[in-house]
Amino acid sequence: MSATSRERFQSSLRRARKIAVLTGAGVSAESGIPTFRGAGGLWRRYQATSLASPEAWQRDPGLVWEFYNHRRERALGCRPNPGHHALARLEARFREAGGVFTLITQNIDGLHEQAGARDLVRLHGSLWQVRCLSCGSVTENRGVPITPAFAGSGSPDPETRARRFTAAELPHCSCGGVQRPHVVWFGEALKESDLAAAAAGVDGCDLLLVVGTSAVVYPAAGFVPLAKRHGALIAEINVEPSAVTSLCDFVFTGGAGEILPSLLDLAPALAP
Ligand code: BV8
Ligand code: ZN
């Protein structure tokens, strides 16, 4: 990280009046949550992306719930890392200085919320919410296992003998309907209001930070070229190049938890 690019970035950050941040699984990697495209992208013999789909749910809802139950169990003990906290501090400081700050995340782990992020757009839903297939109600659910039938299930070991779950063993709504994870699966549309909030956050932003994403999933990744078209400066924080690195004005290579605390620490405070 050459001193000049760091100083150029920090003076852009000080001058910025509107900032947007797009995060992906990499921002939670140092909290112990596996990313999709790393080794963690595999569960048993399945690519995570193949289980995060309506087709997988149609085929075997019990297997999909085993996958999500495993991720909930794993995420339960995870805490925000210094990268999440640095972003939450920047948001608070920016807001105090009268700036506009939007954090757009592809993650469903809830760690940005735990770190105190306020103006958060969760493009892909939440690991901690379930949605009823009958009445559509969305409820918080932090139960691990998701139902007693899933106790001890979900091992990622490819040798694990698959078991079928009956419909009765799946989580149910008070209306009697079966509940699914309240996340956006591949092939499912994102909520219009979330897309609109993200677009509003990127529209006219001076600076877009792109943190810990391979930027291959759309429409989320599309916010990077959109910001570029609107004249924003783009800064990427990642351990390796991504699909949008070529669009970036600043590229800081390393872990988000390592880099963000000092990179975003704007003492003295932001220009009023
Ligand atoms: C839709 C929730 C249409 C579930 C997820 C063009 C336009 C529109 C759609 C498409 C399109 N092209 C293709 C599509 C279809 C598809 C898509 O994008 N496919 C890709 C694979 C090509 N998109 C969709 O299906 C979307 N829906 O478009 O619907 C529609 C419209 C109307 C009506 C009907 C349909 C829905 C996409 C959402 C899918 N759901 N998550 C769940 O989590 O279980 S996506 C999921 O994967 C994540 O949320 C995330 O978005 C993505 C993973 O990406 P990353 O977060 O980037 O993670 P990854 O592992 O890839 O990378 C980690 C990065 O971190 C790496 O770069 C690594 O280097 C870095 N890193 C690692 N450690 C660190 C680090 N960085 C910093 N510090 C570290 N320590
Ligand atoms: Zn219901």
Give residue 159's pLDDT.
Answer: 86
Q: What's the pLDDT at 142?
A: 96
88 CA → ligand 2 middle, Å: 34
Q: pLDDT tens digits, residue range 56-70?
A: 999 999 999 999 999
**How high is the pLDDT of residue 156?**
84
**What type of residue is 19?**
I
pLDDT in tens, 188-218: 999 999 999 999 999 999 999 999 999 999 9
* CATH T-level assignment (fold) for domain 1-33+80-124+190-272: Rossmann fold (3.40.50)
List of the chain residues with pLDDT < 50: 268
Known catalytic residues? Answer: 124
For the domain with range 34-77+126-183, which CATH number is right: 3.40.630.10, 3.30.1600.10, 3.90.1150.10, 3.40.50.720? 3.30.1600.10
**CB distance 97 to 197 below 8 Å:** no
The domain spans of the chain are 1-33+80-124+190-272, 34-77+126-183
Q: Is the CB of 216 within 6 Å of ligand 1? A: yes
Q: Quick check: 88 and 12 in contact, CB under 8 A? A: no
Please report the pLDDT score of residue 39 as a whole number.
67
* pLDDT value for 1: 52
pTM recorded for the entire structure: 0.96
CB of 52 closer than 6 angstroms to any ligand 1 atom: yes
CB 247 within 8 A of CB 224: yes
Hey, do 1-33+80-124+190-272 and 34-77+126-183 end up sharing a CATH topology, with the first three levels equal?
no
